[in-house]
Structure 1
């Protein structure tokens, strides 16, 4: 291949988030001798823009109007014609809608759609639209096998078009030997205190309220256990109020958005994700990379990351009894937690590395040419 293949990535924006971080990490590792990426945002740019632009990757804002903007299809098609990509890569449902139609108008040779994860309880209109769009794209990627099954069975996308490529993260960031006692000391924690953590946006879908209520029950048996809530979002004040109402100020710390997640994970005895819905959670992959045992709800691709009884405990969604029991089980048996953590790291190395994800996408791109 003498010339690199131009790939336009269509994404809502480059604000800090799991999907956006995955795309940025992917772009930074892409083989630039083979592929020449361009990013097109349709709502906003965001804080991650500099990380992409600093690598010499063009970032454009081709903004749509609020609501359903049918005229945007033609605006986007004009941008694509000027950019002349061989591959148009669409990220998540809104990009799927606008990008598929604009890409066809612009006669892009290959259109790839990645379904990163969404609430699959869609209405019939959405399913019908996706059934039509699925016939127009050339390749579809699901980040978890559950998503692949849904897209094929419920939205009628040909199974032969769909490939599962798990989200991957940089293993090196989570393999360092951190001074755990020093990190705990900075947080006001003792070396032998049970420390539970969650890294997630403070959003209703992550169900932090359930975890806070579970801590109230856990505190009756393990008053020394502490929960670190890492992340920020629209429910910050509401969750603070719930903590105070339950008189858990001593057991629950809100750390806000942090850039030192690998260090914080190293200080945990147990990682929790009690979401009501997920795609394939990057934070679960990160916790696995950090060799932490995990309690996770059985939604989305969570059970593809966490092997129940081996690398953690998988529980029904919104089940406080199961959540409390799982927390108590691991907190009460540190050796079991360490064994689960080691198993999780081994599973991560087999299935969820950034290098593996990038290689899989590059192979997929090659099949388009």
Structure 2
């Protein structure tokens, strides 16, 4: 029995609900939509459910597994058409290109408008068939880019019509991160209050460039014995990072607690947040650190400069430059009060541009406009 009434029915289609920035964002969006009472969201996973599906179920969402692994392209489209016919969404909202390639044609054949969100900067190559990539993107009523930089990539690299691209910034629950306690966070992480704790929170992936972070911290730690570095997260680079820690002689000075589920509870433990990525879409962890009033040093890649205005809301340094990163870290140690002022500015910017409420409202308006246009047609 369908109990969704007159609410807008939205089918979010994504690869899985594994731990990841985009997956976390989609889940947060769907939960907030459900709580609002105005939208009835579905979560449809293409390949696997993943651990975040348990969080979804705790909030009254039951993810649907489409089971696309190992089946032919046309069969996948037919399977999604059957799911859409049963669930009867008013809008299909695809997240990243893997899900869009299958779900957009299925929705289009059923006359359902498609909203597509491009979460990262990387644009699927389709080097032999660029027209096919452009065709698939253009099945969307709108393509939401999570940053202005991502929108530029879609225009310049994918050849999309600018009229269908709309920037919708990622949003977070600012109050949840602003409420954290530094003392309680340090207790959870078993970190003494008398040390400067620097660190990062991310998937341990090559694009996050942990090697440069460690090389920079080595320079800082050579002159200071009151600093500790923490790398929170897990991923394919874990063993390589541990090897680098040993090779740089940083044992005992760098801590790797692994994946931590409750980031809002531990993030306030940090005195300085670093994100020297070589590629980004729009980093959720930078948003979270800013909402927690933690000073930030990052690199001017992807949408990061749209969050971190150099010298105003944080510090930007050249990517892959350990010397510049170490210099910025030392500037923090010399004048932490100045960096805290930047952190306060960053929190204000997050509240104005990157709140969960603002993101949800933007998508709601997009859904309504797509439905209205379909009705008029």
Bin the TM-score by the shorter chain.
Answer: over 0.9
SS state at 1:9 partner: strand
**Inter-partner Cα distance in structure 2 for 1:365 and 1:172:** 26
Q: Tell me if 1:176 matches 2:176.
A: no
Query: Cα–Cα, structure 1 residues 368 and 74, in superposed 2: closer, same or farther, change >3 Å?
Result: same
**Structure 1 residues 147-185: Cα deviation after superposition (integer angstroms, max 9, x where no partner):** 11121232122212111111111112112251x345435
Question: Is the contact made by 1:270 and 1:331 (CA closer than 8 Å) also made in structure 2?
Answer: no
Partner of 2:310: 308
Per the TM alignment, residue 53 of structure 1 is displaced from its structure 2 partner at its CA by 2.7
Alignment of 1:209-228 (within 5 A): 209-228=211-230
Partner of 1:85: 89
Partner of 1:250: 252
SS state at 2:193 partner: coil
Partner of 2:67: 63
SS state at 1:124 partner: coil
Per the TM alignment, residue 203 of structure 1 is displaced from its structure 2 partner at its CA by 1.3
Question: Is the contact made by 1:273 and 1:297 (CA closer than 8 Å) also made in structure 2?
Answer: yes
Query: Cα–Cα, structure 1 residues 181 and 53, in superposed 2: closer, same or farther, change >3 Å?
Result: closer
Question: Is the contact made by 1:288 and 1:345 (CA closer than 8 Å) also made in structure 2?
Answer: yes
Per the TM alignment, residue 126 of structure 1 is displaced from its structure 2 partner at its CA by 6.4
Q: Tell me if 1:27 matches 2:30.
A: yes
Identify the match of residue 136 of structure 2 among 126, 133, 137: 133
Partner of 2:282: 280
Please provide the CA RMSD for this pair: 2.1
Identify the match of residue 325 of structure 1 among 324, 327, 334: 327
**Inter-partner Cα distance in structure 1 for 2:129 and 2:266:** 40
**Structure 1 residues 320-361: Cα deviation after superposition (integer angstroms, max 9, x where no partner):** 222111111112211112111111111111111111111111
TM-score, length-normalised on structure 1? 0.93
Partner of 1:298: 300
Partner of 2:375: none
**Inter-partner Cα distance in structure 1 for 2:323 and 2:54:** 44
**Structure 1 residues 18-68: Cα deviation after superposition (integer angstroms, max 9, x where no partner):** 111111111111155332211111100011113223333342101113487
Query: Cα–Cα, structure 1 residues 346 and 68, in superposed 2: closer, same or farther, change >3 Å?
Result: farther
Alignment of 1:38-187 (within 5 A): 38-66=42-70, 69-108=73-112, 110-120=113-123, 122=125, 124-125=127-128, 127-176=130-179, 178=181, 180-181=182-183, 183-184=185-186, 187=189
Count of residue correspondences: 367
Question: Is the contact made by 1:183 and 1:263 (CA closer than 8 Å) also made in structure 2?
Answer: yes
**Inter-partner Cα distance in structure 1 for 2:121 and 2:325:** 23
Structure 2 segments unaligned to the other structure (5+ residues): 372-377
After superposing the two structures, state which structure 1 stretch, 280-289 or 185-194, moved more: 185-194
